[in-house]
Homo-oligomer: A and B are copies of this chain.
Amino acid sequence: MDSEQRKLALALIQQALPDLDWTLQATKVKRLSRDFHWFSPILKQQLEDKQADAVVRPRNEEELSLVVKACVQHQLPLILRGGATGNYGQLVPLQGGILVDMTGFNQIGEPGNGVVRAQAGSRLAEIETITRPTGWELRCMPSTYRLATLGGLYGGGFGGIGSINYGPLGAPGNVLSVKVMTMEAEPRILHIPAPQALLLHHAYGSNGIVLEVELALAPVHQWIERLDVFDDFSDALDYANAIARSPGLVKRQLALFAAPIPTYFTHLNGHYQAHQHAVISVIAEESEGVGSNLLEKYRGHSAVRQSAAEARETNTSLMEYCWNHTTLHALKIDSSLTYLQTAFNYTNYRQQIIDMAALFGDEVISHIEFLRDNDGNITASGLQLVRYSSEERLNEIMVTFRDNDVKINNPHVYKIEDGKQGEIKSEVVSVKKSLDPNGLLNPGKLRGWEVRDTLVLNNDPLLLTDR
């Protein structure tokens, strides 16, 4: 469908649904069609001219259902938008269409027994505001928790803060079920329990419209946020690793930043020197004593220390310097930087981190996040900063990482499979066949859909007949 046909269809839809909350002004639509994919100079260029034809913000399921019906009738693409904090063009409409702002779906259920159910447009921080007084918090969340939505995290997130305990968001047990609306002429609403629910996770909203997510929660601790600095990189690494590997030291977040990354933290960098490496940790109050012993052992110095409760009140949490926030702080200072996403091997990540840092010198700067993998192993992943010269060189760097047995989840591509070593489970495509049979959810995003005739697809990937 070309641009003119889409405009005509859109005009008819708007005429039919005048009471919906539409945004039509071109510059606004353009702005709303953007996320943080500009972290990648490659995506920035590739997605430059991609945008929606209009934005709509449904206030309830009934309104959303009207939009879905209209899009199916006119075969117009529909794309979901949460907090727009993604980094891979998750919400960028590849072939135009209607961008659905989901932030109107922000009801959060009563938490009970370590579980909460919330609508997809709920901000993660809002969910914690509801659950914290009951003694629970989120198990995994991105550093963008203040703006990011639950649906956006589910659609495109991996894990983040808390993954040092619970692994990735997709590890069994973290997500209990989802509620979805199908992209059909008569939209259906389905409740899908785990593990089938995970077939809609990390599919960037391309195979179903997630309305609600039911999450298992983590018990609240009195967290202390710390930034500690080290003159020597391997001391910083060993300190962070000792925290990671101490089962009696309770933590929520742990990241290592090689110099000069800490200098990019403009609100903090008065507390340390430019040549110093930093470790940000969020540890339980009762574990601070062990932390202090380790800090002394590895010749570190305390630069910032605050309670998480204080930090929340003043909006100065150190968690907002971790994960992809690091990249954001760096880019604000030096727009020639970009980044990688790497997964070290759990059996020898310490040596791999040292080797890769040595191999690239100043060109690739270590930003390491510690976490548990899907099998419960403690390991490390990297969101290294890269001094960008060309696409060729960036790809060369990624090849070198792979050659050294470090996995790359390429953040410079916008097709789902390209970010995942080129592959996706055929069930993810089967789900799209069931829930979006016309392929209207952000067409172009899921390569498996385009080549679906070559795949063996399951007719009932969600095992819905069983339930």
Contact = CB atoms under 8 A, between A and B. Distances in A.
A194 B290 contact: yes
Most buried by B among A193, A284, A286: A286
A128 to B, nearest CB: 16
A245 B373 CA distance: 9
Contact of A248 (B139, B245, B247, B284): B139
Interface string A319-332: 00000000000000
A286 B247 contact: no
A219 B221 contact: yes
A246 interface: yes
A195 B293 contact: yes
A315 interface: no
Contacts of A244: 376
A172 B293 contact: yes
Interface string A371-393: 01111111000000000000000
Contact of A173 (B174, B176, B221, B290): B290
B376 A194 contact: no
A249 interface: yes
A115 interface: yes
Given A194-B289, A290-B194, A222 B114 contact: yes
A167 interface: yes
B222 A219 contact: no
B247 A285 contact: no
Contact of A286 (B115, B220, B245, B372): B115
A248 B289 contact: no
A216 interface: yes
Contact of A247 (B194, B247, B376): B376
Contacts of A25: none
Given A113-B222, A114-B286, A173 B216 contact: no
Closest 4 CB pairs of A and B: A173-B248, A219-B219, A167-B247, A171-B248
8 contacts: A135-B219, A165-B247, A167-B248, A172-B293, A173-B287, A193-B289, A216-B248, A217-B286
